[in-house]
Structure 1
């Protein structure tokens, strides 16, 4: 049977302070992400109003005729990301198995 030693009040206070500091930083990151999304949306609104959401699926790009479409760029991004994943996932998995060895992890906790 394993007995844990009781921790001092200073350690408990330090742990609680760290937990709250971590929560504050997490909320700060979430607030920054929301602010970025808001700014992007507000700055994109005039273009969406002028060209509509069909801009995302249109494939032409002709500034002379004022015709724009983002589909080729979106498609290229998705294809290059998929190719990168096809290369990175097997190599990363191989590295993980090599570094970790035969470590077994129990998720059930102490018995």
Structure 2
């Protein structure tokens, strides 16, 4: 309901990466794979922006869920295949199709 209200309001709508798929923020990234400069400058005490920068899963399987032929720069969580574009396309109850119809 909140999404539909936001998209119906006058002005520009901003969607963040993965929002259209209902992807959660990844909160359990190991420190050794983090890329966020704030995290690195603060010696791990601050800067947790990498969780929202994990690549979108395009397909239901594969080493990077269709993001590319190799691995992604940040690891994608296990089970993200079921949240992928491929899995949600054509499913009338999916978050992706809700956004598509609303836009």
TM bucket (normalised to shorter chain) is: under 0.3
Structure with the larger helix share: 1
TM-score (norm: length of structure 1): 0.19
Structure having greater relative contact order (Cα 8 Å, sep ≥ 6):
2
TM-score (norm: length of structure 2): 0.20
